[in-house]
Amino acid sequence: MASEPESAVAVADGSAVAAIEAPRRQSGLVPTLALVAAVALLPFAIPVNIATEIVIFGLFAMSTNLLIGTAGLYSFGQAAFFGVGGYAAGYLAARGLAPLPVMLLAAALAAGLLALVIGAFSIRRTGIYFMMLTFAFNQLVYYISYSWHSVTGGEDGLAGIKRMPLDLPVIGQLSFDNHLAFYWLSACIFLAGMVALRRVVDSPLGMVLTAARLNPRRTASLGYPVHTAQLIAFVMAGAIAGIAGALFGMLYRIMPIDSVHWVASAYVVFMVLIGGTRSMLGPVIGAAIFIWLQGLFSLVWARWPLLLGLFVIVVMLFLPGGVLDLVEKARHWVTRLRSRS
pLDDT in tens, 264-293: 999 999 999 999 888 888 899 999 999 999
pLDDT category at 147 given cuts 50, 70, 90 is very high
pLDDT at residue 7 is higher than 60: no
Highest mean pLDDT among 12-26, 109-123, 156-170, 270-284: 109-123
Instruction: For residue range 160-200, list pLDDT tens digits in order.
Output: 898 888 888 878 888 898 999 999 999 999 999 999 999 99
Q: Mean pLDDT throughout 22-27?
A: 47
* Whole-structure pTM value: 0.88
Q: Which of 238, 270, 59, 229 is nearest to 137 (CA)?
A: 238
pLDDT over 70, % of the chain:
91
* 20-24, 90-94, 260-264: segment of lowest average pLDDT: 20-24
pLDDT category at 17 given cuts 50, 70, 90 is very low
What does the pLDDT read at residue 1? 46
Q: Mean pLDDT throughout 304-333?
A: 84
Q: Which of 289, 284, 264, 273 is nearest to 322 (CA)?
A: 273
What does the pLDDT read at residue 226? 92
pLDDT at residue 252 is higher than 60: yes
Look over the chain and give the mean of its residue pLDDT values, rounded to a whole number.
87
Q: Which of 213, 192, 201 is nearest to 55 (CA)?
A: 192
**Residues, the chain:** 341
Q: In this predicted model, which residue has the larger pLDDT, 320 or 254? A: 254
Q: Mean pLDDT throughout 205-218?
A: 91
Domain ranges of the chain: 29-261
Q: Mean pLDDT throughout 85-98?
A: 88
Instruction: For residue range 28-61, list pLDDT tens digits in order.
Output: 667 778 888 999 999 999 999 999 999 999 999 9
pLDDT at residue 3 is higher than 50: no
* 130-134, 183-187, 212-216: segment of lowest average pLDDT: 212-216
Measured CA to CA in angstroms, residue 190 lies from 57, 93, 111, 317 at distances of: 9, 20, 17, 30
pLDDT category at 13 given cuts 50, 70, 90 is low
